[in-house]
Structure 1
Amino acid sequence: MKNYGVLRTNGFFIALALTLVCALAGNYFGGLPYLSLIGALVISLILGMLFQVFQRPIEASREGIGFISNKFLRLGIILLGFKLNLIDLASAGVKTILLAVVVVAGTVSMTYFIARKFGVEKELAILSAGGTGICGAAAVMGISPQIKVAESKLTRQRENEVMAVAVVAILGTVFTLIEIGIKPLLHLTPTQFGVMTGASLHEIAHAVAAGSSGGPISLDTAIITKLSRVLMLAPAALVIGGWYQRTTPVKEGELKQKLPIPWFMAGFILASVLGTFLPLGNATLGFLVKTAYLFLGMAMAALGMSVNFRVILQRGRNVFLAAFISSVILLMFTIVVSKTFF
């Protein structure tokens, strides 16, 4: 028993070291000009998948990897709340908040509906819809704990998480380049272009990359619009979790899951309140947000270390197509709305 305890402890520290390396590398490479379109979180996930070549340390640290992908994820999302300045969001006006509500509700519902029509399983459809409609990888990982599956399905659910993250990462990058490319054809003002990019693109990094191509006004507007969608993550996770439990039949011999309450989402909102109203200073807020991305990067790396990407390639086509169609419709909708109302 003593040796087993030592192995468990050593496994946790091995997992901690491996995921930390991936997260730090992801933050570094994610800051480079061309790789910034992909983003630090997705790079950390890819590095975690590549680390599967080191089979012995991965197997020895399997329990630690599971702990990090679960607990560090929640801690990272809580700290990410410090990125949301509620005063800035309020100053953006009712139109921006209303647009965020419509985009999140409409895109999540539409993506889920299309994915199910294409035969995508319920859990994967929910995760890809959340990532497409809200804020990319962070939304996928924030919603996933609300999808309570049987223990026998945990491995498949982790594959679903990676697939959903991969879908929003690829599509977000593609649509960032598309929006930058069609900008001269749309004849939008800087504010309108910022609204379009912030309301349509998947990750914060994508909105920043595209918005910056329109100048400082466009960039600021893109960030505010995108953060308005990020603010929807907490209520969306609660609604989706409750809806999933009500609409998922219980198999014989299984107990009905309790309605999931995302307490870490309450921490996310509390962090945004503290960051808005306490005089923490830009340096402190910046440090907390960087720490958030470090923890999220470690969680993403841990996720990458525990999936079978051969299965992901086999199952990913239909969900990718569904999210692509939804993203095209979302882009057209935001072009019309930005031209008409902003």
Structure 2
Amino acid sequence: MKGCLSLKIILTGKFWIAIMVTLICTMVGTYLANLPYLNIIGSLVLALIFGMLLQVQPVDTKPIKKEIGFISNKFLRLGIILLGFKLNLTALMSSGIKTILLAMIVVTGTITGTYLLNRKFGVDKELSILAASGTGICGAAAVMGISPQIKVSSSKQAQKEEDQVLAVAIVAIMGTIFTLIEIMLKPLLHMDATQFGVVAGGSLHEIAHAVATGSTAGPVGLNIAIITKLSRVLMLAPAALIIGIWYQKSSKVNNGNGKHNKLPIPWFMGGFILASIIGSFVPMSANVLSLLVKAAYIFLGMAMAALGISVNFKVILNRGKKPILATFISSVILLTFVIIVSKLFF
């Protein structure tokens, strides 16, 4: 039934209008993300912003609401799968057990700590999970990857979409702030390039943030920052499964018969892992891998733009203060921890 509905949506003219609108937002975001200063924001967040801006322009997107929802859902999963090609498992394994262990500790501790801080401040459970995931793993991509694991009733679906946008906005703001903080702290930390690369990759939110910060320590710092950051990205699949199982068991959402839904298995995360295996061990040219990664960011950007089009950002602004404060405190603790670890063990 779902397959027939999806095919019906794709065959409509409105679907292709939605494709063009979200693709334009993505292309503009991708172009601007290559410019100085905007590169630390990243193409995904910029695509989200342009999608939101359409709500204040005289453009009527209501007729394509269903198609926009399809893009934000299906293109998200496709983008996450293709993002797996960015993970070179050989490079990650060669970086040593210390880097992988640090990633596991950072992801587990940051998600748990950020979630508990948000809940302490009275933030909704769903928003707390998404903000914590984006902070602990890999920013916007993590928010979008974890979101399908949070199953809510139809009456809460609109709020869930708002939570997604707010969580992405929070990690984008925090990541940008801490990128600038770390660059300013660099002369005071007295670290070599490897240590500073670990700090950048181990503490910052988006891959773009880690790249911008790590590059200030030269090629060595940039390479270590990317490897450390991708070690955290590798945790996305197991985190999605664990969070999905935990949320299902702890929530009161059921299937209408008083019984809980089946435990959510993130099959698209299986595709993400498979893509990383293929990209790491199957002979492929660098150009092909680069195209696949670019395609991943295009599909993810379109999903982000669709999400931006479908939410009320005025509500988001009203709900953002507490989760921003909680995430800021969590980010300070994370940065302090990674600085200490890099000094002692790297």
Q: Shorter-chain TM-score category? A: over 0.9
Q: In 1, distance between residues paired with 2:9 and 2:232?
A: 45
Mapped partners of 1:37, 1:260: distance in 2:
34
Question: For residue 287 of structure 2, what is the aligned residue in structure 1?
Answer: 283
Listed as ranges, the gaps of 5+ residues in structure 2 are: 1-7
SS class of match (2:217): coil
Matched, 1:157 2:165: no
Q: Secondary structure of 1:104's partner?
A: helix
2:269 alignment partner, one of 250, 253, 265: 265
Task: Indicate yes or no: 2:254 matched with 1:248.
Answer: no
CA–CA separation in structure 1 for the residues paired with 2:193 and 2:11: 54
In 1, the alpha carbon distance for the partners of 2:165 and 2:58 equals: 19
Structure 2 residue aligned with 1:294? 298
Distance (Å, rounded) in 2 between the aligned partners of 1:277 and 1:115? 40
Q: Which amino acid aligns with 1:331?
A: L
**8 Å contact 2:32–2:39 — kept in the other structure?**
yes
C-alpha separation in 1, matches of 2:88 and 2:218: 22
Residue of structure 2 in register with 1:128 after alignment: 131
Against the structure 1 CA distance between its residues 23 and 340, is the aligned structure 2 distance closer, same or farther, given a 3 Å change threshold? same
- Distance in 1 between residues matched to 2:186 and 2:341, nearest whole Å: 15
Other-structure match for 2:174: 171
Rounded Cα–Cα distance in structure 2 between residues aligned with 1:90 and 1:6: 43
Distance 2:160 2:46 in 1: 20
Amino acid at match of 2:293: V
| CA distances 1:135-157 after superposition (whole Å, capped 9, x unpaired) | 00000000000000001110000
Alignment correspondent of 2:42: 39
1:319 to 316, 323, 334: 323
Residue equivalent to 1:274: 278
**Separation in 2 of the partners of 1:311 and 1:132?**
22
- Aligned position for 2:66: 63
Per-residue CA deviation, residues 38-81 of structure 1 (Å, 9 max, x unaligned), is: 00000000000011235654111101100000000000000000
1:115–1:323 CA contact under 8 A, matched in 2? yes
Q: CA deviation at 1:338?
A: 0.2
Tell me, yes or no, if structure 1 residue 217 matches structure 2 residue 220.
Answer: yes
- Aligned-pair RMSD on alpha carbons? 1.5
Match of 1:94 in 2: 97
**What is the TM-score with the length of structure 1 in the denominator?**
0.96
Verify the 8 A CA contact 1:100 1:199 in the aligned structure 2: yes
Counterpart AA for 1:236? A
Distance 1:256 1:198, change over 3 A: same
Amino acid in the other structure paired with 2:172 = A
Return structure 1 stretches of 4+ with deviation > 3 angstroms: 5-8, 53-57, 250-255
Aligned mate of 2:185, from 182, 187, 190: 182
State the distance in 2 between where 1:6 and 1:177 align: 44
Q: CA deviation at 1:249?
A: 2.3
Displacement of 1:10: 2.1
Q: Secondary structure of 2:12's partner? A: helix
Letter matched to residue 28 of structure 2:
A
* Aligned mates of 2:71, 2:57 — CA distance in 1: 18
1:229 aligns with 2:232: yes
- Report % sequence identity: 64
Which blocks of at least 5 consecutive residues in structure 1 are unaligned? none
Query: In the aligned structure 2, how far is the partner of 1:153 from the partner of 1:12?
Result: 25
Secondary structure of the 1:213 match is helix
Distance 1:218 1:249 in 2: 46
| Residues 79, 289 of structure 1: 8 Å contact kept | yes
TM-score by length of 2: 0.95
Task: Kindly indicate whether residue 111 of structure 2 is the aligned counterpart of residue 108 of structure 1.
Answer: yes
Moved more, 243-252 or 10-19: 243-252
Task: Indicate how the Cα distance of structure 1 residues 250 and 77 shifts in structure 2: closer, same or farther if over 3 A, else same.
Answer: closer
Query: In structure 1, how many angstroms separate the alpha carbons of the residues matched to 2:72 and 2:284?
Result: 29
Contact (CA 8 Å) 1:11, 1:63: kept in 2 or not? no
Q: Which amino acid aligns with 1:290?
A: K
Q: Distance in 2 between matches of 1:271 and 1:333?
A: 32
Contact 2:114 2:132 in 1 (8 A): yes
Per mean C-alpha deviation after superposition, the further-off stretch among 7-16 and 264-273 is: 7-16
How far apart are the structure 1 equivalents of 2:262 and 2:291?
A: 36
Partner in structure 2 of residue 306 of structure 1: 310
Q: Does the 8 A contact of 2:9 with 2:67 survive in 1?
A: no
Alignment partner of 1:135: what SS? coil
| Residue 253 of structure 1, CA deviation | 6.2
